C-alpha cells in the first residue's frame, strides 16, 4: 500500500503502544475477544505468568476443572505418602487387597483435607499423624484461596458487550461508511456515559520501507448517555477519513485492522468497565446493512431487543461512485 493512497493531511497516532515494523509483526494486533495477540518469551515461565490473573481469566468450566484437578492431585500425593508408611500406620483399614487399601487411604486423605474426619480410619504412628496434621492445615488454606478466587471472578468489573461478527461497508449520506455494532447482553448491566474510540491500522510503504501506521477514526457518534440497546458505530468515509478512495483490494494490501475500545460506567459494579475488540479486512463485508434488532412488543407496552440478530445483515448494492 503506497503512502500516497492515504490522505497526507491526516495525522497518524504514534502513541497506540503497538509496534510499527511490518517485518516484526505477526498477525493481528488485537484478538476478537479483546486480548492482545502477543506471546512473551525469554524469561522463565513462572516469572512471565501471573497465576492469579490467569485463574481469573479462565472460563467457568476451565476454572472448575482446574480446582477439581488440583484437589485430586493433592490428595493423590498425600495418598502416596500414607501408602509408603505401610498398613501398620493406620487403624481401621478393612480392605484385604492392595488396591482396596489405596482407595481407603485416598478417602481418608480427602476427609482430612476437608477436615470432615469420619473417624473409621485414623493414623496410628507419629509419622502418619504428622502427615495428617500437615494435610489438615493445607486443606483449609487452599479452600480459602479458592474462595478468594471465586469472589474475585464474580466481583471483577467487566463489560458484558457483544460485537457483530463483521464490520460493514454501507451507503451513508451519498457516500460510504464503515460500521459495526455492539450490544450489552446481560440484564441490568447497561452502561452510562459509554464512549468508543476506534483506531485504524494500515500498512504503508514509504521510501521502500513498510511500516504500520495508526489513525484515529472520526465517528458519527463517540458517546451516548445510556447504552442499553444496540449501538451501530459509524465512521463516514469522507475527506477526513484515511480510507477515502480505498477499495476492498486496498484493504487487503494495507493489512487493515480496526481496533475498538469501549468504556462506560456499570451501575451493578459501580465502576468503570472496558472492553476491546478488533476487525481485520477479512472480517469486513462490502455492500451490506444491518437488520433492525428491536421492535415493539405485541401489546405495545415494551420494546423487544433480539440479541440473536446482532450479526444479521442484508446485502445492499453500492453505487459505483461510492466504491
Do 56 and 83 share a domain, yes or no?
yes
Do 166 and 134 share a domain, yes or no?
no
Do 80 and 213 share a domain, yes or no?
no
C-alpha cell at 129: 499423624
- What per-residue confidence (pLDDT) applies to 59? 86
C-alpha cell at 268: 451493578
Helix, strand or coil, per DSSP, at residue 280: strand
For residues 201 and 32, what is the distance between their CA atoms, to the nearest angstrom?
15
C-alpha cell at 69: 484437578
- Which CATH number does the domain housing residue 275 bear? 2.60.40.1400
Crossing angle of helices 126-155 and 60-85, in 10° steps, is 180
Do 192 and 259 share a domain, yes or no?
yes
Helices and strands, number each (H, E), in the chain:
6, 16
Give domain status of residue 20, yes or no.
Answer: no
Cβ contacts of 311 within 8 Å, gap of 6 or more: 164, 165, 166
Give domain status of residue 214, yes or no.
Answer: yes
Per DSSP, helices labelled H in the chain are 45-48, 51-57, 60-85, 98-113, 126-155, 248-253
Give domain status of residue 19, yes or no.
Answer: no
Domain finish residue from 111, 130, 155: 155
Per DSSP, helices labelled H in 117-224 are 126-155
Question: Do 112 and 132 form a contact (C-beta atoms < 8 A)?
Answer: yes
Do 305 and 249 share a domain, yes or no?
yes
pTM reported for the whole predicted model: 0.79
C-alpha cell at 302: 415494551
C-alpha cell at 77: 500425593
For residues 245 and 8, what is the distance between their CA atoms, to the nearest angstrom?
13
Count the residues in the chain.
323
Which domain, by its residues, includes 147? 48-155
Distance of alpha carbon 88 from the chain centroid: 53
- What per-residue confidence (pLDDT) applies to 252? 92
Residue 218 has φ and ψ, to the nearest 5°, of -75, 130
Do 89 and 212 share a domain, yes or no?
no
Question: Do 90 and 82 form a contact (C-beta atoms < 8 A)?
Answer: yes
Helix, strand or coil, per DSSP, at residue 20: coil
Q: Which residue bears the cell 484515511?
A: 242
In 3-state terms the chain splits into helix, strand, coil percentages (rounded to 5) of: 35, 30, 35
Cβ neighbour number for residue 260 with a 10 Å cutoff: 22
Give domain status of residue 3, yes or no.
Answer: no
- Which CATH number does the domain housing residue 88 bear? 1.10.287.70
Domain finish residue from 155, 186, 203: 155
Helix (H) or strand (E) holding 3: none
CA-only gyration radius of the chain, Å: 29
Domain finish residue from 135, 155, 175: 155
Number of domains the chain contains: 2
For residues 32 and 137, what is the distance between their CA atoms, to the nearest angstrom?
43
Per-residue tens of pLDDT for the chain, all 323 residues: 555 566 665 777 776 777 666 556 777 888 888 888 888 888 888 777 888 888 888 888 999 999 999 999 999 999 999 999 888 888 888 888 889 889 989 999 999 898 887 778 888 899 989 999 999 899 999 999 999 999 888 888 889 999 999 999 999 988 899 999 999 999 889 999 999 999 999 988 776 788 888 999 999 999 999 999 999 999 999 988 999 889 999 999 989 999 999 999 999 999 999 999 999 999 999 999 999 999 998 998 999 999 999 999 999 988 654 55
> Which value, to the nearest 10 degrees, does the dihedral of the CA atoms of residues 237, 242, 244, 245 take?
-140
Amino acid at each position: 500500500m503506497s503512502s500516497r493512497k492515504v490522505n497526507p493531511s491526516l495525522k497518524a497516532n504514534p502513541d497506540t503502544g503497538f509496534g510499527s515494523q511490518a517485518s516484526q509483526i505477526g498477525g493481528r494486533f488485537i484478538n476478537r475477544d479483546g486480548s492482545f495477540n502477543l506471546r512473551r518469551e525469554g524469561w522463565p515461565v513462572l516469572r512471565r505468568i501471573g497465576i492469579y490473573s490467569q485463574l481469573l481469566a479462565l472460563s467457568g468450566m476451565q476454572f472448575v476443572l482446574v480446582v477439581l484437578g488440583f484437589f485430586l492431585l493433592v490428595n493423590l500425593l498425600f495418598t502416596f505418602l500414607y501408602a509408603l508408611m505401610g498398613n501398620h500406620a493406620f487403624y481401621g483399614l478393612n480392605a484385604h487387597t492392595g488396591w482396596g487399601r489405596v482407595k481407603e487411604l485416598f478417602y481418608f486423605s480427602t476427609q482430612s483435607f476437608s477436615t470432615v474426619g469420619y473417624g473409621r480410619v485414623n493414623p496410628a504412628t507419629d509419622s502418619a499423624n504428622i502427615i495428617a496434621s500437615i494435610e489438615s492445615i493445607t486443606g483449609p488454606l487452599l479452600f480459602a484461596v479458592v474462595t478468594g478466587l471465586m469472589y474475585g471472578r464474580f466481583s471483577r468489573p467487566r463489560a458484558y458487550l457483544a460485537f457483530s461478527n463483521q464490520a460493514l461497508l454501507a451507503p451513508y449520506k451519498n457516500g460510504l461508511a464503515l460500521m459495526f455494532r455492539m450490544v450489552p447482553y446481560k440484564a441490568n448491566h447497561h452502561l452510562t456515559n459509554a464512549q468508543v474510540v476506534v483506531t485504524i491500522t494500515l500498512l504503508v510503504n514509504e521510501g521502500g520501507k513498510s511500516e504500520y501506521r495508526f489513525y484515529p477514526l472520526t465517528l458519527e457518534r463517540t458517546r451516548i448517555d445510556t447504552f442499553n440497546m444496540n449501538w451501530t458505530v459509524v465512521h463516514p468515509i469522507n475527506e477526513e477519513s484515511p480510507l477515502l478512495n480505498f477499495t476492498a483490494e486496498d484493504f487487503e494490501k494495507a493489512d487493515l485492522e480496526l481496533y475498538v475500545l469501549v468504556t462506560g460506567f456499570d451501575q451493578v459494579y459501580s465502576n468503570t468497565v472496558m472492553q476491546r475488540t478488533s476487525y481485520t479486512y477479512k472480517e469486513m463485508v462490502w455492500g451490506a446493512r444491518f437488520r433492525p434488532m428491536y421492535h415493539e412488543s405485541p401489546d405495545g407496552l415494551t420494546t423487544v431487543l433480539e440479541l440473536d440478530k446482532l450479526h444479521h445483515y442484508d446485502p445492499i448494492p453500492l453505487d459505483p461512485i461510492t466504491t
